[in-house]
Structure 1
Amino acid sequence: MASLVTKSKRRKKREGMKAYSQDLRERVLRAVDRGCPRTEIVRLFGISRASIKRYIKQRRENGPRGEKKPTAFQQMRWFLLMKLAPTLP
C-alpha cells in the first residue's frame, strides 16, 4: 500500500512541472551567444544548467527557428513526388 502512495506522489510531481516559455528560451540562448557565463545565466533567469544545455542541443538539432529537419523517409517521399508529378495526368 505504501508503494501506491509513493507512485501517486511521484506522478503528481511530474504533472506539476511546466515548460518554460519560448521567449525565455530565446533570451537564454541570446545570452549564451553573447558569451555570458552559464552561472550568470542560471542566476539571471532562474533556470538550471541542464536546461541551458538542453536548449543548446535542441537548437543544434532543430535549427535556430526550432524546425525539425526532415527525416530520410520524408526527404525520399518528397523526391519521389517531385519526380512523379510530371507524369501524373
Structure 2
Amino acid sequence: MAILSFRVSNYALNINMTGQQRYTGRDNFTGIPAEYAPHVKAYAAKNYYVDDIDRAFANGWLTAEEHQDTLDLKTESDPQFRPSTLNE
C-alpha cells in the first residue's frame, strides 16, 4: 500500500494536536492503518514541539510507548521547545 503524505500529516495533526484520532483502536476510535504509524510518528517528531507531543500524552491521546517512540525520532534539527514569548 502506498503511503500518502497528506494522510500522514492529517493523521499526525489529528492524533497529536486535536486528539481526534488514535494510533490504535482505543477510546472509541478505530485507529489509523498500522502501516502509517511509523510515518506519522516521524512527521510529528519533525514538525511538532516537544510540549505538543507531551500534551498529547498528558491528554491520553498517546500511549507511553507512542509518546516515547515519537520523542526518540527527534533530531537536533527538529523543533524542540517552543520559543519564549516573554519580552527579554
Instruction: Give the TM-score of the pair, scaled to structure 1.
Output: 0.35
Instruction: Give the TM-score of the pair, scaled to structure 2.
Output: 0.35
Larger Rg: 1
Higher relative contact order (CA 8 A, sep 6+): 2
